[in-house]
């Protein structure tokens, strides 16, 4: 399986429903690298990096999110590999470390 990197954003009821922690758990269970963070506009954004098949599983999960989420908007795009290692929950969009522009 070739490695790939996909950036997603999910909107709707996606904050305060354990979306980020659930995303981290799913990504780690699939052996993926990347990150997830809340955006100031109420969306959640995540980068999944790893084998195509495993990334596709994570993206499909994110389309629905955890039990109490209600995803009403979803975008995904393939981006260049970042070389990420591990999977992190980043500071919200309002401050802290920011990933490079993809």
Which candidate, 87, 90, 89, 91, places its Cα nearest to that of 28?
Answer: 87
The 3-class secondary structure across 16-62, one letter per residue, is CCCHHHHHHHHHHHCCCEEEEEECCCCCEEEEEEEEHHHHHHHHHHH
Catalytic site positions: 20, 38
């Amino acid at each position: 399986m070739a490695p790939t990197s996909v950036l997603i954003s999910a909107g709707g009821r996606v904050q305060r429903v354990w979306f980020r922690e659930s995303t981290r758990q799913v990504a780690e269970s699939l052996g993926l690298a990347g990150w997830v963070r809340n955006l100031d506009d109420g969306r959640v954004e995540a980068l999944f990096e790893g084998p195509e098949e495993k990334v596709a599983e994570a993206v499909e999960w994110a389309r629905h999110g955890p039990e109490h989420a209600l995803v009403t908007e979803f975008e995904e795009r393939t981006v260049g590999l970042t070389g990420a290692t591990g999977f992190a929950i980043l500071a919200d969009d309002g401050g802290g470390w920011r990933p490079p522009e993809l």
